[in-house]
Amino acid sequence: MTTGMSLRTDRIQLSYTGTPVIDDLTVDVRPGEILILTGPSGCGKSTVLRALAGLLRPDSGRVLADGTEVTGTSRDRAVVFQDNALLPWRTVRSNIELALKLRGEPRAGRRALADKWIDEIGLTGFADYLPKSLSGGMRQRVQLARGLAGAPRAVLMDEPFGALDTQTRATMQRLLIDTWRTHPTTVVFVTHDVDEALLLGDRVAVLGRAGEPLRALLEVPQPREPDVDRAVLRAKIITALEN
Ligand SMILES: Nc1ncnc2c1ncn2[C@@H]1O[C@H](COP(=O)(O)OP(=O)(O)O)[C@@H](O)[C@H]1O
Ligand SMILES: [Mg+2]
C-alpha cells in the first residue's frame, strides 16, 4: 500500500509558443487528496497536468513533488488520459502485468496480482481480451487498473471519463472512489464537469482563462457518502457525551 505525495506548482509559467498559457500559478496538492482542476475549455488544464507529470518544463517557477523539483516523468506519478495507450497487442492481463513489472514486482507474483486487479475493476472473465475487443468504458477500467497497479504516489487524470456515456461515467466515478480508498494515493483530476468535480473532489481549483490567475480554490464538504454523514454525526454525539 502506498500513500500519496504532495505536489506543488510554485509560481509556474507555461507556454508552447511565445504567449504563456499559464502565468504565475501556485497550487498545492495535499498528500492523499483528490484535487480537481477545472476551468473553461482551453484555459490550460491539460497543460498544468503535463507540467505535474514532468512532460512539460515550466519557463519559470518550479513543480515540486514531495518538495523535490520535478525534472521529468516518473513512475511515482502515473498519468491517465481519456484514451491513452493500452498496448494494443497485449491482453488486459498482460497490460496490467507490465505495470507490475515496471514497478519491480517479481515475475512469479504478477499474474495473480493482475487477476486481482481485474476482479477489482469488474472485468473478471476478460483477462485474455485485447483492448480493441473491449468497450470504451472497459478500456478505461483497464487504464485505471494499469495506472494504479504501478503503486504510484500520485495519479494525474485528464478528463478520463469525458468520452463515456452518462451511465458508464457514473460507474467509473464510483469505481475510482472505491479504488482510491483501497489504494490511497494523491489524485489530480481534470474535468470541466461541475457535478463530477463535486462528487470526486476534496478540493476544486478553478483556473481562469489563459494567463489569468486562479479563480478559486474550494473545499468540497465531505464525506461523500450519506452513511458516513451519519457516522460523523454519531461520533460528534459520542464525543459530546464523553466530555
Ligand atoms: N501542443 C501545443 N502546442 C501549442 N499550443 C497548445 C498545445 N497544447 C495546447 N495548446 C494551447 O494551450 C492552451 C491551453 O490548452 P490546454 O491545456 O489543452 O487547455 P484545456 O485542457 O484547459 O482545454 C490552448 O490555447 C491551446 O490551444
Ligand atoms: Mg484539456
Domains of the chain: 7-84+151-242 (3.40.50.300)
Block residue for cell numbers 512539460: 56
- Are residues 32 and 3 in contact, defined by beta-carbon separation less than 8 angstroms? yes
Index of the ligand 1 atom closest to the CA of residue 39 = 22
Residues 163-176 pLDDT 10s: 888 988 998 999 99
The H or E element containing residue 80 is strand 77-80
Q: What is the pLDDT of residues 115-130, one digit of tens each?
A: 999 999 999 999 999 9
Residue nearest to atom 7 of ligand 1 (CA): 16
| C-alpha to C-alpha distance for 190 and 161, rounded to whole angstroms | 10
- Please give the single-letter amino acid code of residue 74: S
Ligand 2 centre distance from Cα of residue 68 (Å):
26
Ligand 2 center–CA 237 separation, angstroms: 45
Q: pLDDT grade, residue 213 (50/70/90)?
A: confident
Sequence-separated (6 or more) residues with CB below 8 Å from residue 27? 8, 9, 35, 48, 205, 214, 217
Ligand 2 geometric centre to CA of 159 (Å):
7
Nearest CA among 93, 100, 101 for reference residue 127:
93
Q: State the closest ligand 1 atom to the C-alpha of 40, by its place in the atom list counted from 1.
A: 22
User: Which residues surround ligand 1 with Cβ inside 6 Å?
Assistant: 16, 21, 39, 41-47, 210
- Per residue in 43-84, pLDDT (tens digit) is 999 999 999 999 999 999 999 999 999 999 999 999 988 776
